[in-house]
């Protein structure tokens, strides 16, 4: 049996002028996690916010005592230097630090701004580093990246270096409100077949119209921004997304 449905509204589509309240309201409407999109204007052509804002919104939602339980802050790091910000986000209240594979393999960031050099960090070293800071680690892939890069990480026998979640992007990262890419589903199907217990997240264009396709493929962690925050009744949308995943388990 695949893991339970986890509904993670993306606060990218919330009112940034009242973000703390939007976070607590969404959890009250039945969301499991909050999906927090961090964009640096470099890895993607858009910017959001950094750790100081995460610190402020964290105080509006109880931090989960158990890993990946309700209230988890799922930080989707669309940034060029994923290692550089690990400690800041841990302190700010991130529970699950999900970096982009593409950024890690191109990253030139060292551990801290003081020691920046051209030292490279491999994705598996970065996963261990995130675990060492007490967070869970996720690895995201853009639409043009092959799913085999995730399998290589997931097949590692050293558990410290294995990701806790795989994120298959179903839009090009950078903006909310884009069209879901069903052609990404073979990646999700391949992961579900090989890793029955893995948390597989899909992000971009998820709604009541596209959830069946994602759920059929085996996704269980559902990010939805515009579909939740643009809805008349967000609780109803969250519940329908959950039901669609649960009925396929």
Pair of tokens at residue 161: 């270096």
Nearest one of 202, 200, 184 to 192, comparing CA atoms? 200
Q: Which does 71 bind (CB under 5 to 8 A by kind): ligand 5RP, Fe ion, none?
A: none
CB of 160 to ligand 5RP, least distance (A): 27
Q: Which residue in the list 37, 40, 74, 95 is annotated as catalytic?
A: 37
Q: Which stretch binds Fe ion (CB under 5 A): 66-74, 79-87, 144-152, 197-205?
A: 197-205
Q: Which burial class, exposed, middle or buried, applies to 99 when counting CB atoms under 10 A from its CB (0-12, 13-18, 19+)?
A: buried
Q: Would you call 216 a catalytic residue per the annotation?
A: no
Instruction: Find the binder of Fe ion among 37, 74, 95, 201 (CB under 5 A).
Output: 37
Chosen from Fe ion, ligand 5RP, none, partner binding at 178 (C-beta under 5 to 8 Å by type): ligand 5RP
CB 85, min distance to ligand 5RP, A: 16
Binding site for ligand 5RP (CB under 6 A): 10, 12-13, 35, 37, 76, 171, 173-178, 203-206, 223-227
Q: Which is nearer to ligand 5RP, 35 or 192 (CB)?
A: 35
Question: How many other CB atoms sit within 10 Å of the CB of residue 174?
Answer: 16
- Alpha carbon dihedral 138, 140, 146, 150, in 10-degree steps, equals 0
Token couple for 8: 């993670």
Residues 21 and 23: their CA atoms lie apart, in Å, by: 5
- Residue 239 backbone phi and psi in degrees, to 5: -65, -40
Q: Residue number with the shortest CB distance to ligand 5RP?
A: 225
> For the stretch 175-189, what's the b/e string if a residue is b when 16 or more beta carbons lie within 10 angstroms of its beta carbon?
ebeeebbeebbebbb
- Out of ligand 5RP, Fe ion, none, what residue 36 binds, judged by CB under 5 to 8 A for its kind, is none
List the single partner that 102 binds among ligand 5RP, Fe ion, none, CB under 5 to 8 Å by kind: none
177 touches which of Fe ion, ligand 5RP, none (CB within 5 to 8 A by kind)? ligand 5RP
Nearest-CA neighbor of 73 among 29, 148, 110, 20? 20
Active site residue 37: yes
Asked if 203 touches Fe ion (CB under 5 A), the answer is: yes
The nearest distance, CB 111 to Fe ion, in angstroms, is 25
Binding mask 61-90 for Fe ion (x = CB under 5 A): ---------------x--------------
Catalytic residue among 32, 95, 164, 203: 203
Active site residues: 37, 203
Footprint on this chain of Fe ion (rule: CB under 5 A): 37, 76, 203
């Amino acid at each position: 049996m695949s893991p339970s449905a986890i509904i993670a509204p993306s606060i990218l589509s919330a009112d940034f002028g009242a973000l703390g309240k939007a976070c607590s309201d969404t959890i009250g409407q039945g969301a499991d996690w909050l999906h927090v999109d961090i964009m640096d204007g470099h890895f993607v052509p858009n910017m959001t916010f950094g750790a100081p804002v995460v610190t402020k919104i964290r105080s509006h939602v109880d931090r989960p005592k158990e890993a990946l339980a309700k209230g988890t802050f799922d930080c989707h790091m669309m940034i060029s230097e994923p290692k550089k910000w690990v400690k800041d986000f841990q302190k700010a209240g991130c529970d699950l630090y999900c970096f982009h594979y593409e950024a890690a393999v191109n990253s030139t960031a060292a551990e801290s701004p003081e020691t920046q050099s051209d030292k490279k960090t491999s994705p598996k070293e970065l996963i261990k580093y995130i675990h060492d800071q007490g967070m869970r680690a996720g690895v995201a892939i853009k639409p043009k990246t092959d799913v085999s890069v995730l399998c290589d990480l997931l097949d590692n026998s050293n558990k410290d270096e294995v990701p806790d979640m795989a994120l298959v992007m179903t839009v090009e990262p950078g903006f909310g409100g884009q069209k879901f890419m069903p052609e990404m589903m073979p990646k999700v199907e391949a992961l579900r077949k090989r890793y029955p217990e893995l948390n597989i997240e899909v992000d971009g264009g998820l709604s009541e119209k596209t959830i069946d396709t994602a759920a059929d493929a085996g996704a269980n962690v559902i990010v939805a921004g515009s579909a939740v925050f643009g809805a008349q009744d967000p609780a109803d949308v969250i519940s329908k997304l959950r039901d669609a995943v649960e009925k396929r388990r």
